Amino acid sequence: MLSAARGGSSDRKLGSWKLNYFLTRSSCLEKVFTYLVVKTVYRCYFHPLSSYPGPKFAASSRLWFVYNMVIGVLPQKIRRLHEELGPVVRVAPNELSYSSSKAWNDIYGFRSGKPEMSKETPLYQAQPPGILSATRIKHSHFRHLMSRGFSEAALREQEPLVKGYADLLMGRLHEQAKLGDAVDIVSWYNFFTFDVIGDLAFGEPFGCLATSDYHPWVKMIFDAIHLIGFKQALGHYPKLDRLVPYITPKALADKWDSHDQMTREKTLRRKESKVDRADFLSQLIKPENNVTDEELFGNATTLITAGSETTATVLSSVTWFLLQNPEAMLKLVSEVRSSFHDTSEINFISVNKLKYMLACLNEAMRVFPPVPSGLSRMVPEGGDLIDGKWVPGGTHVSVLQLAVNTSTANFSRPNEYIPERWMDDPRFMNDDQTAMQPFSTGPRNCIGKNLAFVEMRLILALLLFEFDLELDDKTEKWNEARVFIIWEKKPLWIRLKPVTRL
């Protein structure tokens, strides 16, 4: 009986412990639930940004933003919100997206006497150290050093090199045309831009045109961009940063490590070389300019990616839209072939007279911007006016090119490819052309704009002078692509027919 009594006592104690544990756990769950409810209600209805339109899920949590970023559809989702809700939408608890032309200058412009809209956001924290993520003072230093490599004098010096690769590209395309098969013109544009930028940055090409294939390092760059997007998404959850090495797919991490190692090897080889020319790294590698190796590596990575991928994107998109719009294609072909009698006449200077070509390129950058994502900045402490309305300090803000370029408030017939809108056509006299800023604006606008334009004009002029283009049947909806900071371009299969001249 004593044993039974003791057993009963133990059972009661165990039962009591279980009850207390259950009540405690229930209490904790209730507290967590209550906290989440209160937090959600506050963010949706009492937060300083609660007056801005946007999905309640996006207002209450970063999950909507991060999920769409990870699957590559965030810019497209935000563009739809702008179409439904107007020029400013709330896309996260502390983030606003804009699609007005005025917001460009308010966020990215010269802010004399004001603190800069900082880059202390996950987008830039995921970048290597360099001009892209640098503070205002450091950025000015880097830009000053790089400016020599992008000057008018440097362009004149670089022309034979660029023209040489352009001629090599045309030669390889003639070889492909003889085979009679469709070619993926996206790859060939990338081969050209990577070879040029590799030579101008490292003093040696990647050899893509020579081998008709991507250099292994170039392939790594595409994978690295995916990883930067992944790190950017996790950057919105700082407590998870330490988990990045454990939750990053091993294959992706290995490719990033290989990319980093090859960047260092190529950069150090350029640093130790005796090449004396005004290229992109010539000033950065001089000891007296006090650029650390890490900053040198970061700037090299930025130059290679920004100086090649975006240019190839514009060339690809203008080719796609011209093939979709035969009248525009016919008009541009006529302009090119009536302006030149031989390819030797096509150069950096002569392509500047092709006004309709410039309109075609501008229109391609409008409907398919090379950088479709919003480049977020953070409003300084104390807040500031953006597009005429006060925004509190600490808020992340950006102009989404994909939205601002196709807003009916900025452009007539915004979703149509019509180059004439850039040629004083009266049908588009009310278009707000300042809304389109493919190279951004302000003190941090793209330093390589001039080089990009001459490359694009040169290649497009040579291509249309040498070939008739036809879209292959296996290319469908090329412009419907995912975005991981930049576009994940699909193959653009075309057929090339060499032009016969007497």
- pLDDT reported for residue 8: 47
Q: What pLDDT, on the 0 to 100 scale, is given for residue 465?
A: 98
Cβ neighbours of residue 36 under 8 Å, at least 6 residues apart? none
Nearest to 466 by CA among 186, 191, 175, 196: 175
Beta strand pairing call for 384-386 and 486-488 = unpaired
Predicted confidence at residue 440, as pLDDT, reads 94
φ, ψ for residue 385, nearest 5 deg: -85, 130
Q: How far is CA 270 from CA 200, 208, 295, 297, 498, in A?
A: 10, 19, 15, 11, 39
186: closest CA among 164, 208, 155, 216? Answer: 208
pLDDT value at residue 165: 97
The predicted pLDDT at position 20 comes to 56
CA pair distance 186, 24, nearest whole angstrom: 61
Least Cα distance to 409 among 23, 161, 86, 170 occurs for: 86
Long-range pairs, 40-49, Cβ under 8 A, ≥24: 43/93, 47/93, 48/392, 48/395, 49/90, 49/93, 49/94, 49/96, 49/392, 49/395
Distance CA 27, CA 34 (A): 10
Pairing state between β 467-471 and 183-184 = unpaired
**131 touches 143 (CB < 8 A):** yes
Per DSSP, the three-state class of 213 is coil
Predicted model pTM:
0.90
- Written as tens digits, the pLDDT of the chain (502 aa) is 444 444 445 555 445 554 455 545 567 777 777 777 888 888 899 899 999 999 999 999 999 999 999 899 999 999 999 999 999 999 999 999 999 999 999 999 988 888 888 887 776 666 677 888 888 888 898 898 888 888 888 888 999 999 999 999 999 999 999 999 999 999 999 999 999 999 988 888 889 999 888 887 777 777 766 776 777 777 777 776 676 677 667 776 777 777 778 888 888 888 888 767 767 888 888 888 888 888 888 888 888 888 888 999 999 999 999 999 999 999 999 999 999 999 999 999 999 999 999 999 999 999 999 999 999 999 999 999 999 999 999 999 999 999 999 999 999 999 999 999 999 999 999 999 999 999 999 999 999 999 999 999 999 999 999 999 999 999 989 999 999 888 999 999 999 999 988 7
pLDDT of residue 125: 66
Numbered residues of the known binding site for heme: 446
CA nearest neighbour of 343 among 172, 188, 463, 195:
463
Q: How far apart are CA 70 and CA 378, in angstroms?
A: 22
pLDDT of residue 15: 52
pLDDT of 1? 45
Q: List binding-site positions.
A: 446
